[in-house]
Amino acid sequence: MNVRGARDAPRTQQAGCVVSVVDQKAVELPPRISEASVADYFALLKPRVMSLVIFTALVGLMIAPGHVHPVLGFISILCIAVGAGASGALNMALEGDIDVLMSRTANRPIPRGRITRGEAMGFGLTLSFFSVMTLGALVNWYAGGLLAFTIFFYVVIYTMGLKRRTAQNIVIGGAAGALPPVVAWAAATGSLSMEPLLLFLIIFFWTPPHFWALALFRSDDYARAGVPMLPVVAGPDATRLQILLYTIVLVAIAAAPWPLGYFDWVYGVTSLILGAGMLVLAIQVYRHRTGSQALRATRRLFAFSILYLFALFAVLLLDVVAKALAPLIW
């Protein structure tokens, strides 16, 4: 290269500094323009998870004693939903490095490069702040405090503390997903009682069989990402046993509110029927350990577990609606 030519290369003067066009590193690149759409930011909220949170929270709100003003009830559910979405966004921001390695999560906005981890973090923190402050200021601070704790537990305890360190991540972390009906009850009453705690226990013990069934047929994903899910650490057979044991406990806890007098016989019978189906599928997962039968059994349990929780909570909601409409009909 001609040294003199390089020395004599054109120069531009900006803000008192002479910058050679040969010195590419000295030229600042324009700021990144985000390509994210509204749909990308909505995906950060984990809408499928959020829909389950909204439904369980609605049930917690509706079965609470007393009367809740419709506006305050709407604000409560909205804040709980936004708080859940904020948790999802923060979770994606913190797990962008492993989401790109898993086929189940590779199409999320951060792995696709639509949103940066910093943008997702800012979005999640903003939603967290406003959801907690709005619930506290407009409804009550007891519910606001519980919502803040729920977000903290999911993001800090589960995502940052447990998920990459222990095979019991989903067991302990499941507490965050079980709290929305408790928050909703607190929003309606300003206190806690046995009913929301029973709902908490149902979701808490439902979570391991549900997610371990998923982990069984997605174990390669988790192994590739280095996430110590139970099938990766303890093996599929140990996971099948744990699924069966947790399902037995779940069925017993879900049926308990009926004989204890908290929920009526309609709930009790529904719980027993759904519990029998859940138990049969868990036994099939335990028995079928190889081949297409094993895969089919885990997929069936995963799908039915969603129906199980939805139907169980729907019965409680329909019972409240029926009792409210009965005086108008008869």
pLDDT score, position 73: 96
pLDDT average, residue stretch 157-163: 95
Q: What percent of the chain has pLDDT over 70?
A: 90
Is the confidence at residue 27, as pLDDT, over 90? Answer: no
Report yes or no on whether pTM surpasses 0.85. Answer: yes
Q: What b-and-e string marks burial along 252-263, b requiring 16 or more CB atoms within 10 Å of the CB?
A: ebbbbbbeeebb
| Selection from 313, 7, 305, 33 nearest residue 180 by Cα | 313
Per-residue pLDDT tens over the stretch 62-72: 999 988 899 99
pLDDT average, residue stretch 271-288: 97
Residues 82, 73 contacting (CB under 8 angstroms): no
* Winning range, highest mean pLDDT, from 102-111, 134-143, 163-172: 134-143
Per-residue pLDDT tens over the stretch 285-310: 999 998 899 999 999 999 999 999 99
Q: Which two tokens stand for residue 217?
A: 């047929």
pLDDT score, position 30: 53
- Dihedral over alpha carbons 23, 24, 28, 29 (to 10 degrees): 170
Query: For 12-26, 79-93, 144-158, which range has the lowest pLDDT when averaged over its residues?
Result: 12-26
Q: Domain ranges in the chain?
A: 35-191, 193-315
pLDDT score, position 257: 94
pLDDT average, residue stretch 147-173: 95
pLDDT score, position 17: 43
Average model confidence (pLDDT) for the chain? 89
- Dihedral over alpha carbons 183, 189, 190, 194 (to 10 degrees): -70
Quote the CA–CA distance of 56 and 50 in Å, as a whole number: 10
pLDDT score, position 1: 43
Dihedral sign of CA atoms 221, 225, 228, 232 in order: positive
pLDDT score, position 32: 57
pLDDT score, position 130: 98
Query: For 8-22, 205-219, 298-312, which range has the lowest pLDDT when averaged over its residues?
Result: 8-22
Is the confidence at residue 11, as pLDDT, over 70? Answer: no
Which numeric CATH code is attached to 35-191? 1.10.357.140
